[in-house]
Chain A
Amino acid sequence: MSTQILMPALSPTMTEGKLAKWLVKEGDKITSGKVLAEIETDKATMEMEAVDDGVIGKILIPEGTEKVQVNEPIAVLLGEGEKASDISAAPAAKAAAPAEAKAPGAPAPAAPKPAATASAPEPAAEGGKTQTVREALRDAMAEEMRRDQSVYLMGEEVAEYQGAYKVSQGLLDEFGKKRVIDTPITEHGFAGLAVGAAFGGLKPIVEFMTFNFAMQAIDQIINSAAKTLYMSGGQMGCPIVFRGPNGAAARVAAQHSQCYASWYAHVPGLKVVAPWSAADAKGLLKAAIRDPNPIIFLEHEILYGQSFQVPENDDFVLPIGKAKVEKSGSHVTIVAFSIMVGKALKAAEALAAEGIDAEVINLRSIRPLDIDTIIASVQKTNRLVTCEEGWAFSGIGSEIAALIMEQAFDHLDAPVARVAGKDVPMPYAANLETLALPQVADIVEAAKSVCYR
């Protein structure tokens, strides 16, 4: 059976081209792979190769012809035992056009609303034990490692040194060097290696000594960990936790003092969690380790040594995607995460002294974001202040402000106020550092301004 040779598209954008030169003539016997012609595309001159074996029966488009449309027949190839005379009336059926996208211009289907997180009532932390955030994080890892043999910890100084910030203290003794692994200083490498291990059926916990160093690894976190589930049509989950201190410690200057919440929260496929209290740290880290997705778990060095009540229950797991109202109030909503929750609570105390009753929401999870809890609060208070250590530009506060504008505009009695780090690299000098970081007084001032006080 004769076959039509069609004008090929030889670049992602080509729709027509010039048939510059024929390198075969009628009657030539060809085999697949033989160069048939030179085609000028919108970008370059390309060689066109034969796909099928046969004899060139007829050349339909002479060389030198410009503006030959892609998929237009340019020659006819004869099969075994056919003659050129058989094809004089060959139908010039064009190749089936690629299936058109349905109804061009039709809107994309709306994003499904995440199912409301049905969570069991949170166990009361009161009556539990007092623990530092550091101890709570370690206990969370130890409990999950006891529970699941496929969970392991890797990172710089996590084993013999017991953790750069002593978060992994005692884990090497209990679980041995197979499961608590000191890595070389090689963030990009070990992040990628851990992603491969997660694809291979393990559940790695990757500790970054700080998230500042994770910028070396961000390609593996985003391109490999976050996107592969989607790119594989759901085959390749990546159950992994990337954890470590985030944000500003004290006097470590610009390269070691940055909040990455908005960087990672930008990416579909990642979940981003930021605990404040020891109970948050424990319940959320256990949830993160059990979660089948890649999780960015943002800790805070200043909080490691702070103590809180933690429920004494091996199965204390907090739902990811659910915020907590730390203090209820009726005049203004203050939304915060990580270290800023403590500052927000202090601000609420100061505001109370001035007769302003603030509600403080601890986000706990940045993505997915519990916007419902924020909206419910704004419906009550009609005023909103967001707090974060990171820069305001494209920050978490900006996202919350946009969502509230879209979904609760009519409930606002004042523009949303953002309290954030100043728009500068973190300075070293103590006085400048204090100025650069958002302080309790900044929150108080913002809350008063949205209350027009």
Chain B
Amino acid sequence: MATKKAATKGAQTHGNSGATNAQLIEFYRQMLLIRRFEERAGQLYGMGLIGGFCHLYIGQEAVVVGLTACANKQDTVVTSYRDHGHMLACGMDPKGVMAELTGRATGYSKGKGGSMHMFSREKGFFGGHGIVGAQIPIGAGLAFAHKYKADGGMSFAYMGDGAINQGQIYESFNMAALWKLPVLFVVENNKYGMGTSVERASASPDLAARGEPWKIKNMTVDGMDALSVYEAGLEACSYIRAGNGPVLMEVKTYRYRGHSMSDPAKYRTKEELEKMRSEHDPIDALRHLLLSQKLMDEDAFKALDKDIKDIVLEAAEFAQTSPEPDPSELWTDIVVAA
């Protein structure tokens, strides 16, 4: 594969983090996978193959790709319902994710969870949570378990800017700081909680400062740049892993699509969206860097595009041809047999 050849070119590193050429190419590959996957999910939704609520991650790819690159094998991740990107970044199989979206037996939750409720214990992904903010105490609890078991792990607890005004966020901040839990709280500030802008919802729009009453270390990061996110993530994780307690990271990002599939996004201007897309797209930005550094050429990009397209098409095909869950599944997984 062309990318592999490129990756072995020298031991050059980038930015303050020392990201290698191979890492940059991998960031690009993962972001492209998430974007193409989400576009395809949107199409399958349009065809009636995906139902209910479906929240796409398009535009925010750099956040989860940059931060997941800082994670170790024993670490855990929990997020809200805008979760497809997190699952792909955690290494979950696109086929299983897409098949869950179409409600099939081969999906990660056997078709019983859907877009908002998917999990992989194997990959350390603990959901996919449908109640705004409720994943944050759970993320603190995962960190509590890491500390209790002394397994060296930490948890990544993601939320949107809409969740930041929920009371349980602050209950979690307090306990995480009080008990020095190894958790990275990530606010993916995409500027709108559904249709309400941060300015209309938050008396103080400086979301990183929301941990100050508990003296939680905070960071504000450009979420449209995977390398910046990665650098900030490394700093945060090293602080957390050293036993200093939680970090609150506000990542400034942007979602291109509506809140969910049926949102026409009338609360923002076309110009605002176009400007983000044309001037701040995380995938375009990294593409230019890879080109200018001669780490990948047009042929390599073409080959990678094709690889990603094939993966996504295979996932979509799998999701459409897999059987629906057997009716008997209605009655399974309610309680574990004691």
Q: Report whether chain A binds chain B.
A: yes
Bound complex: CA A47 to CA B76 (Å)? 36
Bound complex: CA A231 to CA B47 (Å)? 24
Interface positions of A from 282 to 299, Cβ below 8 Å from B: 287, 290-293
Indicate whether B138 reaches chain A with its CB closer than 8 angstroms: yes
Indicate whether A201 reaches chain B with its CB closer than 8 angstroms: yes
The answer, among B102, B142, B262, for a CB contact under 8 Å with A41, is: B262
Interface positions of A from 429 to 445, Cβ below 8 Å from B: none
Q: Is the CB of B108 within 8 A of A200?
A: no
Q: Is the CB of A291 within 8 A of B338?
A: yes
A residues sitting closer than 8 Å to B (CB atoms) are 6-12, 14, 32-33, 41, 43-49, 51, 70-71, 95-99, 101-102, 108-109, 111-112, 152, 178, 183-184, 186, 188-202, 219-220, 223-224, 228-237, 268-269, 271, 287, 290-293, 320
14 A-B pairs besides A49-B39, A195-B141, A231-B113 with CB distance below 8 A are A9-B45, A14-B262, A33-B58, A43-B262, A97-B48, A98-B49, A102-B327, A178-B148, A189-B137, A189-B174, A193-B137, A196-B139, A200-B144, A201-B149
Q: Is the CB of B172 within 8 A of A189?
A: yes
The answer, among A97, A196, A293, for a CB contact under 8 Å with B142, is: A196
Indicate whether B131 reaches chain A with its CB closer than 8 angstroms: yes
Give chain B nearest CB distance to A366 CB in angstroms: 14
Residue of A11, A233, A291 ringed by the most chain B CB atoms within 10 A: A233
Give chain B nearest CB distance to A11 CB in angstroms: 4
The answer, among A112, A233, A268, A290, for a CB contact under 8 Å with B112, is: A233
- A189 with B168, Cβ < 8 A, contacts A8-B45, A102-B327, A233-B108 known: yes
Q: Is the CB of B131 within 8 A of A197?
A: no
B 287-324 to A, binary, CB cutoff 8 A, 1 in contact else 0: 00000000000000000000000000000000010011
Contacts of B178 in A (CB 8 A): 184
Indicate whether B51 reaches chain A with its CB closer than 8 angstroms: yes
Contacts of A95 in B (CB 8 A): 47
Contacts of A236 in B (CB 8 A): 119, 121, 126-127
Q: Is the CB of B117 within 8 A of A196?
A: no
Give chain A nearest CB distance to B106 CB in angstroms: 10
Q: Is the CB of A112 within 8 A of B331?
A: yes
Bound complex: CA A234 to CA B43 (Å)? 29
Q: Is the CB of A152 within 8 A of B148?
A: yes
Q: Is the CB of B141 within 8 A of A199?
A: yes
Contacts of A11 in B (CB 8 A): 261-262
Nearest residue (CB) in B for A293 is B335
Q: Is the CB of B110 within 8 A of A233?
A: yes
Bound complex: CA A286 to CA B36 (Å)? 51
The answer, among B40, B138, B139, for a CB contact under 8 Å with A51, is: B40
Q: Is the CB of B138 within 8 A of A224?
A: yes
- A198 with B141, Cβ < 8 A, contacts A9-B45, A51-B43, A192-B168 known: yes
B 108-137 to A, binary, CB cutoff 8 A, 1 in contact else 0: 111111000111110000111111001011
Indicate whether B276 reaches chain A with its CB closer than 8 angstroms: no
Indicate whether B243 reaches chain A with its CB closer than 8 angstroms: no
Nearest residue (CB) in A for B329 is A233
Q: Is the CB of A233 within 8 A of B130?
A: no
Give chain B nearest CB distance to A126 CB in angstroms: 27
